[in-house]
Amino acid sequence: MDDRKFRVVIAEDEKLIAKNIAKHIESENPCFKVCGIYSNGEDALNAIKEQPPDVVFTDISMPVMSGLKLASEIHNSMDNVKCVIITGYADFQYAKEALHYGVKDYLLKPVDKEELHKVLKELELSLTDIYGSVRNGNAPEPSLSPEEIVILVKEYVKNNYSGDLDLNTMAQSLGFSSSYLTKVFNRVEKTTPSKYIRSYRMGIAKQLMNDKEMTLQQVAAAVGYNDPFHFSRSFKKAVGMTPTEYRESLSLLP
């Protein structure tokens, strides 16, 4: 077993039950680490959006926002987060309904340790498979939030924009598939990594054009374009005018 930890959030309004579940999760399977316990669905959802975990264990009956609503919200906007419903016999029919929201499994109160062990093992195998595939078959590392992945992308672009940089090169270097990286980046930034790369390069190009000693060909090469015509087309698409037109507009500024 490696040292990876899959992050878990628990939404349960009964504090003693929540703490007991947290203790059993970590003792039954060391691959899981409880990173937050919340007493209502709304607080849990806010925390999950800010720092998405790998798994959410949620009671059905909670104040402010029910576990069903929480599961639905997660299913609609964070399909990489897995949900497990915790329920009493009185709410058992709702647990079945929750399966429509992509809920992975459900546990009956009081939580049976053997059932919990089984659910955790299934989650471990599923998460290991997911992270193993998106990281090109390597052993899964501790999960990164979408925001952390975006930071990695931006840092990579900042350090490599002047070279031979494209989506596939970047994805391979960061250890993700290009499709997964695009999905995560687009979810957070509302644009694709490829468009971000182009926008970043053109922003640097605009700065360089203030240096009248640099030719447009030199500017293009400085931001990773060996073909001046490709650079010109990309610049116009991003800025709305050709590099020549943009440089001429600079001379009109006071």
pLDDT value at position 221?
92
C-alpha count within 13 angstroms, C-beta hemisphere, residue 226 = 3
pLDDT at residue 2 in the model? 44
Tokens of 211: 């240096």
pLDDT the model gives residue 1: 37
Residue-level pLDDT at 93: 60
CA dist., res. 172 & res. 183, Å (int)? 15
Task: Lay out the sheet containing 32-38: strands in order across.
Answer: 32-38, 6-11, 55-59, 82-87, 105-108
135, 185, 4, 169: CA torsion to nearest 10: 30
**Residue 137: per-residue pLDDT:** 42
In degrees, rounded to 5, the angle at the alpha carbon of residue 8 between the alpha carbons of residues 85 and 79 is 65
pLDDT in the model for residue 180: 82
With the CA atoms of 87, 120, 49 and 14 taken in that order, what torsion angle do they form, in degrees rounded to the nearest 10? 40
CA-CA-CA-CA dihedral for 83, 88, 89, 90, to nearest 10: -100
Radius of gyration of the chain (CA): 24
- Between CA 212 and CA 192 the distance in angstroms is 32
Domains of the chain, with CATH numbers? 6-134 (3.40.50.2300), 146-251 (1.10.10.60)
Per-residue pLDDT, 50: 79
Instruction: Note the pLDDT tens digit of each residue in 161-203.
Output: 888 888 888 887 777 778 888 888 998 899 999 899 999 999 8
Dig out the tokens for 56 from the structure. 């959410």
What confidence score (pLDDT) does residue 141 get? 46
Find, among 19, 73, 84, 68, the residue nearest to 48 by Cα: 73
Digit-by-digit pLDDT tens for the chain (254 residues) are 345 678 899 999 888 889 999 999 999 998 899 999 998 889 999 888 878 888 999 988 888 888 888 888 888 777 678 889 888 755 556 555 655 566 767 788 888 888 898 889 888 877 776 665 544 444 334 457 788 888 888 888 888 888 888 888 888 777 777 888 888 899 889 999 989 999 999 989 988 988 888 899 999 999 999 898 999 999 998 889 999 999 888 876 55
- pLDDT of the residue at 142: 44
Q: Hey, CA dihedral for 29, 31, 32, 35, is it positive or negative?
A: positive
Q: Which of 94, 110, 55 is nearest to 78 (CA)?
A: 55
pLDDT of residue 129: 66
Strand 32-38 versus strand 55-59 pairing type: unpaired
Question: Cβ contacts of residue 69 below 8 Å, gap of 6+?
Answer: 41
Is 51 strand, coil or helix? coil
CA atoms lying within 13 Å on the CB side of residue 235: 27
Does the pTM exceed 0.85? no
Do residues 111 and 12 lie in contact, with contact meaning Cβ atoms separated by under 8 Å?
no
- The confidence score (pLDDT) of residue 4 equals 60
